[in-house]
Copies of this chain bind each other. A is one copy, B any other.
Amino acid sequence: MTDVRIVSVRVVDLRFPTSRDRIGSDAVNKDPDYSAAYCILSTDSAIEGHGLTFTLGRGTELCVKAIEHLAQFATGRTLRSITDDFVAFSRQLTDESQFRWLGPEKGVIHLACGALINAVWDLYAKVEGKPLWRLLADLSPETIVSMVDFRYIDDAITREEAATILSVSQSTMSERLGHLEAEGYPAYTTSAGWFGFSDEKIRQLCRQGIADGWTHFKLKVGGVPSDDLRRGRIVREEIGPHNRLMLDANQKWGVLEAIERTRALGSLDPWWMEEPTSPDDILGHARIRREVMPIRIATGEHCHNRVMFKQLMQAGAIDVCQIDSCRVAGVNEVLAILLLAAKFQVPVCPHAGGVGLCEYVQHIALFDYLRVSTTMQDRVIEYVDHLHEHFLDPVVIRNGRYMPPHKPGYSIEIYQESLKRYAFPDGDAWSDDHRAMD
């Protein structure tokens, strides 16, 4: 491959004032301003690598500062020197000897690692002239395995098992590729069911969703029980008995309450209950799952690393693995989790919706289909219909399905004018706001 050298890293504190319309609201996250710590790797060529980690507004500045610190491990490096030993690079970030205490492999530091590592992957895919999903799908089993850090997960999956999964899929990839290009990848919409929306708005958005070809709808729950049930009935009425309804409690309940509340919503025939309790509670999820069967249990958007995902699978705690593209340490750790999910036969339905997440996770799901799980059965990517206008290569949805992106990279690049307008606190979007508040 052509090589390039990373010469500098610029980080932007980017915030969109979404809380004004209660978009993104749920039982726990009442007023998110969808935001990102966004980084740009400049190189000695015209090609740049872009990456972000998704946040909810306040605190983004902490991720920005963490990325600025970790950027020293990328600056001055050639792309090839990183990709030739990707695990070593990843560990330089996650094991920074003094920073590590603040995690390890969790929270602000790990979110920052995600942004930076994803930016390197965006650069890598652009240099290779391929969309990320295709770059990954074309790699040999040995190369992919060499990019995965098996530390702390080799009791659950060995390198050999991973290589076997990737080898078997390689020979049958071409027919799946044709199917993907023709049909796209199934998705679900979260846009109709935000917590802060009125009954009438939910009803109207469900009708619109059906008209647009959606077949899977998610509703935020975790409020007053009778409200949850009433709102759920509205959605079920509008989407009918055959389309799928998913419920999302966003960590609102304790284990016992989650069991009771999930059972009480059983009459809605939910396809899954998402985040019924603390994202850290592996054994709690396992118990909830046992006690509410056949309602399926989903979690993952707050699951902070591969060690936690490993245990969710070992404990039989989840039916759906909702991987996030930047809460874990970027593409490399995502690969580890996809391989674990394949080993344990848990379907991966990535978390998205937050700014840039739909653009990111489509690549993960496409690669998973082509080279890891090899099936779309019971798999859907989350979709939310906002903020896509800021991206150079926004997702394309057709009849409720993601169509494969074709531009080189990880689809995460944001227009310069958006980066400027929504920069916090000095961009016009915020200084106008401040003026309005004076």
Contacts and interface: CB of A to CB of B under 8 A. Distances in A.
Interface of A: 28-33, 55-59, 61-63, 65-66, 69, 95-111, 150-155, 251, 254-256, 277-284, 287, 302, 304-305, 307-308, 310-311, 314-315
A98 B282 CA distance: 24
Given A31-B98, A59-B99, A66-B62, A254 B110 contact: no
Nearest to A288: B155
A322 to B, nearest CB: 15
Main secondary structure of the interface of A (DSSP, over half): loop
A339 to B, nearest CB: 16
A30 B97 contact: yes
Nearest to A354: B101
Contacts of A59: 66, 69, 98-99, 101-102, 109
Contacts of A99: 58-59
A281 B96 CA distance: 20
5 contacts: A32-B98, A55-B98, A65-B65, A104-B279, A283-B314
B111 A155 contact: no
Contacts of A284: 152, 155, 307, 311
A64 to B, nearest CB: 10
Given A62-B65, A107-B108, A107-B109, A152 B281 contact: yes
The 7 closest A-B pairs by CB, nearest first: A107-B107, A155-B255, A58-B98, A57-B98, A108-B108, A56-B101, A152-B278
A199 to B, nearest CB: 24
A111 B63 CA distance: 15
B302 A283 contact: no
A315 B283 contact: yes
Given A31-B97, A107-B107, 17 more contacts: A28-B100, A31-B98, A55-B98, A57-B98, A58-B99, A59-B66, A59-B101, A59-B109, A62-B108, A102-B107, A107-B110, A108-B108, A151-B254, A152-B254, A280-B305, A280-B307, A280-B308
Nearest to A101: B56
A30 to B, nearest CB: 5
Given A97-B31, A278-B307, A311-B281, A111 B102 contact: yes
A314 B285 CA distance: 13
Contact of A102 (B55, B104, B251, B256): B55
Contacts of A251: 104
Which of A101, A279, A283, A311 has its CB near the most chain B CB atoms (within 10 A)?
A101
A225 B284 CA distance: 37
Nearest to A305: B280
A109 B102 CA distance: 9
Nearest to A96: B58
A142 to B, nearest CB: 21
A55 B307 contact: no
Nearest to A66: B62
A279 B280 CA distance: 12
Nearest to A62: B62
Given A58-B98, A98-B58, A254-B154, A105 B28 contact: no
A384 to B, nearest CB: 16
A319 to B, nearest CB: 18
Given A152-B281, A152-B284, A254-B151, A108 B102 contact: yes
A97 B29 contact: yes
Nearest to A256: B155
A315 B311 CA distance: 12
A65 B61 contact: yes
A29 B100 contact: yes
A207 to B, nearest CB: 31
A418 to B, nearest CB: 20
